Structure 1
Amino acid sequence: MQSYNPTKIESFEVTSKVSRLEGSNYVVAGEYKITQMTNFEMYKIEVVIRDEKGVFLQRCSSDVDKYNIETEKTFTKVVVCRDFSDSSSVSSIEISLMGYK
């Protein structure tokens, strides 16, 4: 079994995002792009949700097809945070792209 080391991709930009509660799931949909070419085996969009005091509430992620990652071209992705119970206290959503070699 191969071990992958995550690397945060600094040239990642969130161009737009929306989020909402759907049943017990918190859904974050966005449009993203990278500004410099990267070369990883795998990619994941990672979402960290915090309350108004900055306290961690939940972390979730979703795989991104590496063929969708092209320099200066936007791509869309939806991340679903399952079994989310406290949508009233959501204050910030941090989104990052992680690359795995």
Structure 2
Amino acid sequence: MREPAVYIMASQRNGTLYIGVTANLSERVWQHRESAVPGFTKRYGCKLLVWYERHDRMDEAIGREKQIKGGSRTKKLALIEAMNPNWRDLYEDLAG
């Protein structure tokens, strides 16, 4: 089942951020956490899911990802802080 989502992974609180989009959030976050796919998140240790937003359609999710990526770091941090002020790893919440 496809569940389009935009998400932010972090290396630590106020650390390196990665913004991505996926059709299967729990599977994709698992891949980042396990360093299963080479690339940015593996190189910079972005293993914490600190923010996500689900969408009904993939084109909406892609548009939102582009909007977030185009914004300032301050805006990205504000998104995270609004949903997750303690920068808790939200991966465990996905199973529920």
Superposition TM-score tier, normalisation by shorter sequence: 0.3 to 0.5
Which has the larger helix fraction? 2
Larger Rg: 1
State the TM-score, normalizing by the size of structure 2. 0.32
Which has the larger strand fraction? 1
State the TM-score, normalizing by the size of structure 1. 0.31
**Which structure has more RCO (C-alpha within 8 Å, separation ≥ 6)?**
1
